[in-house]
Structure 1
């Protein structure tokens, strides 16, 4: 049974949470491009540091102007003013250039991070156990990570690059105030705190509340996919169901949008009220500074310096605390992302390396199995053996348990009772990656790759993907070579109309391409689940004669509803209700004149 997935915990204090999230984000970005991260950090630090010279240049400029009023000789003051304005222009130019470079580098960092996480996430997903990936709890969390990735990744990058700027902006504001009255800096910080406290609380509540919408988000994605995926157009047009899907999508969207509207409205209202103390303090301090200038206790330039320093400090604190709020919010996303990236497979195999020399074949020993959270047994005490050079056919009605047996053989699930042995060893005693190299499995729902025809076959064994002649050999075996050679670019032709010169194969051609891919893998155990269901009976028989000849030194398992094909097998198992009802050669089962013989005659009658 799949364990219930837990939400991120909130016992960590806000400061520890900030530090933890910052470290996690920093480590992820550092892996992607360390030079870029260091460059952005330095640039943002420089930007924040340029606030200080601007403050002092403006202060000096005002004092020089005020002090020069009434002088008869203005040449010296004009030179000083010109020099100050020149230096200020240099600083402003440096700030503008830094801003442009930072914008470019930050966006580049965001794009590289997105690409990295898509790549790493795809690899990680494929290392996890299928029972876990199929569970609704996992899907809710994983889809949320996918859905929020674009916005949240930028939300991770922006504060990461902004914090050095905020720190040096604070320093630029604090230094002038310390010489006047250090307590002003403390007061500015105190009045800025309500904003971060309120936002942190709202962020936590929002995260907890939004969990109930995760199934709705998934439904939104599914409906939209059915409306826009080109492969669904044919059925959509025939059934005329798009308006129904649109109404259903509208209902789901309305529920989500209304929830999000109320959530954002609540946050905007809270932040507005939280910012009031800061505005009041700024007004009071400004009145105080300029009152001192009127009383002659400070120069007008100093009053302007203190006024701008207060605003700069407030901006620095506000920037830093807003970054902290963003990081706090992104802690929730980063926690989900980290949870996903740190997940480990539970169906871990052993250390044994499988041998290619089989003295024994495949054995199911009293195997019982039911899917996670299901009450019904799919397999009930299944036992059988296949020799190391034997081929076996599985027949039976849909839902009898045939495909489930293949999933157990593939190590996707563990039996609830009993075991599956290959070459006399429990398959979970093998190193799973090495074990699966023994397998070549063509599932009913095989993959359609839009790559070139060569890649679509060659991806069955990526180490040999450039061996064109060998790929062509298996394409000829399945009869798809003629179709590929007719394409404009032949084996380099894309197999999708969405690409230039791309061609969309028919379903029967796709099936032959998929079969070629599995045969090209040249594995020790070959499993074909309805491999020619879209191929005409005559071509099917020709293909299987070639496959059986090719698999003389292999174990071949065939699942098919066409009895004319399965009769070629060395052994046939009739599966019904999760049990083996009959087994033997075709002739033995026909002589027994039981259920298998009845089904064979019934199907043969349909061809007469």
Structure 2
């Protein structure tokens, strides 16, 4: 069990404290019996004042011990919960970062992830608390049964009747709630999505400009009340069953109380004995109901926790123990034969029967219209989408046989949707090679190569400046400045392959010209894959791949492709018209 592995001493200590606490109520009942008899004797002039005082002190002492044990148990429970929450969320995050990238294209992945992370740390530890609570309640009820048996075995056996129907009802309610959670997951994600659109920074400008806030509210409200209506139905059914079972329990309590009066009368017991029996009956009935509720809650929580463990058991991408290590620099090049790829949710291939060869140290531009498959092709080439058919070979070795971790260590990339880490400049660049995050000289060199050094010089705290608007004291950058930092991040590693997906899309013309001026230096000694819509930048490429509708329609140098008067020439002429 996870909690035991993380906090065995705390679990044992808490168990001992729960056992002690479990017998305090029975001891209190005995003290109340003696106190009642002592007070009765004092009122009839047959007793002394010292007797009630003694039992009052005993009652106060038990209350104090119970309070101290409860406070200590709550503190230890908090410590255990912290450890468990950290471990469970660490496992969940680690699993998410090892899921095959293609699964992020599937809506079912997001449904499963939401169910896995929805209060998972709370639910996971709640199971432990409920087990402890049931154990303590069972010990308490056992001690009460022993007391009741002393007065009447019928009362002891009859109390069992309280728990069975209550347990059945609450387990049924737990099933309904779990079913509701599963059914509502896709709609809850839509609910969160539209609420996020209305509240996040990225969408704020467009929502105000196009004035569709009310429409978003309408969408959000529709999903909200749809979920609320289903929740209301389940809650009404649950309350009807709860009212029925509580009514039954009330009748049983009445009958037990009447029988207790008859027992005291027939056996000529003292007033203190009746008070003790009445208190045991009331407390036992409440404890049995609590046991039934906790057992049904454990059943519900177990169903929910299965979602968490199902997610942890889902397929992971290869962890990198390949037989071959990529050489640097690449000596023979990259060979692609009959490459075909389709997303899990799509029947139509995104890439269809593509073949080409990249020579060592070549800069290869990949061009085509939006949706042509350019980024997907690159993701296959660098092993992010391994679910392809055909073959990709590096220096004659199939990509699937290369060690994934060392391969990725030799790959640098600036993706079109690059991340903007809300941390310091130093960390933003250093994330490119976490092993050298404290190497300021390497970070400054990477910044100089990407053009980010000018950005850093204009910041108030230089490399230590906190970036982004999310946290207090953060300094926001322009999109172009963020892109320079992303480029610097890629230059932190000595890569054999460099991917540049629209590297100048957010740069001004001067910064773009400066980058292209130094492009030969930046690409030296490595294979560079350049995705660009600006065909003028393709002049510096050694080889150009022209994509259309998932197929490779042309390839060659800039001059060769213009002479073909084909797709590339058509796109180039259309773009050049804008500059004439």
Q: TM-score range by the shorter chain?
A: over 0.9
Task: Give the Cα separation in 1 of the matches to 2:265 and 2:35.
Answer: 18
Structure 1 position 137, deviation (Å): 2.1
Cα displacement string for residues 417-449 of structure 1 (whole angstroms, at most 9, x for unaligned residues): 311122322222233333322222222111111
Structure 1 position 350, deviation (Å): 5.5
- 1:49 paired residue number: 23
- Which runs of structure 2 are paired with 1:46-125 in the superposition (5 Å)? 46-71=20-45, 74=47, 77-125=48-96
- Which runs of structure 2 are paired with 1:291-306 in the superposition (5 Å)? 291-306=262-277
Structure 1 position 239, deviation (Å): 1.0
Say which of 440, 453, 458 aligns to 1:481: 453
227-236 vs 194-203, greater mean Cα deviation: 194-203
SS in 1 for 2:223: helix
Structure 1 position 38, deviation (Å): 3.9
Q: Does 1:241 align with 2:212?
A: yes
SS in 1 for 2:339: strand
Structure 1 position 57, deviation (Å): 0.8
Q: Does 1:273 align with 2:244?
A: yes
Say which of 326, 336, 341 aligns to 2:307: 336
Structure 1 position 526, deviation (Å): 0.9
Q: Does 1:188 align with 2:159?
A: yes
Say which of 169, 172, 176 aligns to 1:201: 172
Structure 1 position 116, deviation (Å): 3.5
260-269 vs 371-380, greater mean Cα deviation: 371-380
Task: Give the Cα separation in 2 of the matches to 1:104 and 1:79.
Answer: 38
CA contact (8 A) 2:449 2:522 kept: no
57-66 vs 411-420, greater mean Cα deviation: 411-420
Normalised by the length of structure 2, the TM-score is 0.93
186-195 vs 110-119, greater mean Cα deviation: 110-119
SS in 2 for 1:494: coil
- Which runs of structure 2 are paired with 1:71-470 in the superposition (5 Å)? 71=45, 74=47, 77-149=48-120, 152-153=123-124, 155-345=126-316, 351-357=322-328, 358-470=330-442
Mind listing any 5+ residue stretches in structure 1 that lack a counterpart? 1-26
Structure 1 position 572, deviation (Å): 1.4
Cα displacement string for residues 381-401 of structure 1 (whole angstroms, at most 9, x for unaligned residues): 111111232221111111111
Q: Does 1:499 align with 2:488?
A: no
- Structure 1 pair 83/377, CA: closer, same or farther in 2 (3 Å)? same
Cα displacement string for residues 122-143 of structure 1 (whole angstroms, at most 9, x for unaligned residues): 1111111123343222222222
- Give the root-mean-square deviation of aligned CA atoms: 2.4
- 2:2 paired residue number: 28
Structure 1 position 495, deviation (Å): 0.9
- Structure 1 pair 304/70, CA: closer, same or farther in 2 (3 Å)? closer
Structure 1 position 148, deviation (Å): 4.4
SS in 2 for 1:567: helix
- Structure 1 pair 386/231, CA: closer, same or farther in 2 (3 Å)? same
Mind listing any 5+ residue stretches in structure 2 that lack a counterpart? none
Task: Give the Cα separation in 2 of the matches to 1:506 and 1:355.
Answer: 37
Cα displacement string for residues 229-277 of structure 1 (whole angstroms, at most 9, x for unaligned residues): 1221111111111111111111110110111122112112202211233
SS in 2 for 1:460: coil
SS in 2 for 1:392: strand
Task: Give the Cα separation in 2 of the matches to 1:269 and 1:42.
Answer: 39
Task: Give the Cα separation in 1 of the matches to 2:375 and 2:243.
Answer: 59
- Structure 1 pair 138/598, CA: closer, same or farther in 2 (3 Å)? closer
Structure 1 position 482, deviation (Å): 1.8
Task: Give the Cα separation in 1 of the matches to 2:353 and 2:113.
Answer: 35
Cα displacement string for residues 101-160 of structure 1 (whole angstroms, at most 9, x for unaligned residues): 333443454455444433321111111112334322222222233344476356435414
Cα displacement string for residues 44-74 of structure 1 (whole angstroms, at most 9, x for unaligned residues): 33322211211111111222333455446x4
SS in 1 for 2:352: strand
Normalised by the length of structure 1, the TM-score is 0.89
CA contact (8 A) 1:427 1:435 kept: no
Cα displacement string for residues 504-542 of structure 1 (whole angstroms, at most 9, x for unaligned residues): 111111111111111213322111111111112342232
CA contact (8 A) 2:365 2:538 kept: yes
SS in 1 for 2:423: coil
- Structure 1 pair 591/461, CA: closer, same or farther in 2 (3 Å)? same
